[in-house]
Structure 1
Amino acid sequence: MTAKKIIKYLCVFVVAPLIVLCGVFFFGDRKYAFISLVLSVVACIPFFISFEKGKNDARRIVIIAVMTALSVAGRFVFAPIPFFKPVTAIVIITAIYLGSEAGFITGSFSAVVSNFYFGQGPWTPFQMLAWGLIGFLAGLLAKKLVESKVMLIIYGALSGIVFSFIMDVWTTLWADGTFNIARFVASITTAAPFTVVYMVSNVIFLLLLTKPIGSKLQRLKTKYGIF
């Protein structure tokens, strides 16, 4: 068994149960908020380790850093327009052309880096997890997303729902310290207009950016034989 698999198994079968037990015994009414927050961070660890242990070189790291910077800059530029951001689209494009791990890293770092400006808080790990998972899944579906514009549009729209859903889970847990289904439904309902904006913005930015950015990434892959 490789070290990578051992770490993943430890996170799932040892660390996660310990976090749950600590939350139950030491955090009282806020245990679910604590558990959900820490588990979101732990869920990111195997992906970061997997990337770190891969056959990376300076070019790969620089390209991923550039895509992360582009994502963060996009969030800054469109800050005046609530919930209309290119972050998800850039994360998806990165994953399609550079792979799942690059997508996850770009998504999660986009959240933590941009939040040094927008504000760090207990919501940051959930944003990291949401954007990271969207990127990771996009990498797995890369072939279909490249071949079919319809699939790309559908995935972009669904990504808006997934991001909103994960953030609504955080909102519910942090408000009550437990998972209150009534509040969760209320959160989803209240956030519905914003979710629609997420979906529309993802689709628009994917249609505008996939071809120009994707062609540049493909050229870099071909020229330097990376990813």
Structure 2
Amino acid sequence: MSRLASGRRAAAWALAASVVLSAATVAVGAALPRVSYYLTSTLIVLFTLLPFFASFEGRRPQARELAVLAVLTALAVVSRAVFAWVPHFKPMAGIVTIAGMAAGPQAGFLVGALSALTSNFLFGQGPWTPWQMLAFGAAGLIGGALTRTRLFPSEGLSWGRRVALAVVGYLAVQLVVGPILDTSTLFYLMGSPTLELVVAIYAAGAPVNAIHGAATAATLLLAANPLLDQLARLRIKYGFLE
């Protein structure tokens, strides 16, 4: 069985397990009123992560590929730590997006999820960690989709393409990454669903997501070309990464 077929088979089994476990979690949460919305939603997020990890592991990545992904994960973690003194300014989503563009959607998701998990050893682990893993994993998944669909090349971006990529990165944070993080806050604060609380949480998150999106856009504008070109050289020299 080829690496691609193996990865797809593992992802299919993991997806089936994810659907069954998520449905069971919803049923149990509905039957037991004392079970918090946050616990139920966090478990569902954890189950959602399973297909991505299984798909990547199923294609049996090479040791050299894992080493590069580990370096990209470390770079993403450092980018978050270095700017910790600037409120909400996180270049990490930009680095993760670049990783996805170079290595593909599966690897990009893995880098994003592990970057969130690893960086929280510095910033604090908690029930919000799976939500952050999903949010930053989504950034890597989007990056991989951009090159997989040939909307952007995986190296040698022109100035116009870099500007367009920065805009896409900003929108990805505003429309995907940020709302996932805001939803985590919503479930954490919500004793019972109310429209007023939902509106208040997402409204309060809008300026935070704007700063986060600006950091992502700046990172893509300045760092995408150098990193993508270096990763392209590794791909040509050693024949790994998607």
TM-score with structure 1 setting the length: 0.93
Q: Is 1:47 aligned to 2:61, yes or no?
A: no
Conserved in 2, the CA contact under 8 Å of 1:31 and 1:178? no
Q: Deviations over 1:137-163 (max 9, x none)?
A: 221121213363343122211122122
8 Å contact from structure 1 (residues 168, 184) kept in 2: no
Contact 1:172 1:180 in 2 (8 A): no
Match of 2:233? 219
Deviation at 1:177, TM superposition (A): 3.4
Q: Is there any run of 5+ residues in structure 1 with no aligned partner, and where?
A: none
Matches within 5 A, 1:11-160: 11-12=18-19, 14-26=20-32, 28-142=33-147, 143-146=150-153, 148-160=161-173
Identity rate, percent: 36
Name the CA shift for 1:179/1:154 in 2 (closer, same or farther; >3 Å): farther
Cα deviation code 1:173-200 (max 9, x no counterpart): 1112344332121112222221211111
- Give the structure 2 partner of residue 172 of structure 1: 186
Native 8 Å contact 1:33 1:178 kept in 2: no
Q: State the distance in 2 between where 1:3 and 1:56 align.
A: 14
Given that 1:88 and 1:159 are in contact with CA atoms closer than 8 Å, whether structure 2 keeps it comes out as no
Classify 1:216/1:52 alpha carbon distance in 2 versus 1 (closer, same or farther; 3 Å).
same
Aligned residues: 225
Higher share of residues assigned helix? 1
**Do 1:67 and 1:94's aligned partners in 2 also have CA atoms closer than 8 Å?**
yes
- Give me the whole-angstrom Cα distance separating, in 1, the residues matched to 2:236 and 2:120: 34
Structure-1 residue corresponding to 2:3: none
Moved over 4 A (4+): none
CA spacing shift, 1:3–1:153, aligned 2, 3 Å: closer
CA-CA distance at 1:211 after TM superposition: 0.8
Q: Structure 2 vs 1, CA of residues 67 and 178 (structure 1 numbering), >3 Å: closer, same or farther?
A: farther
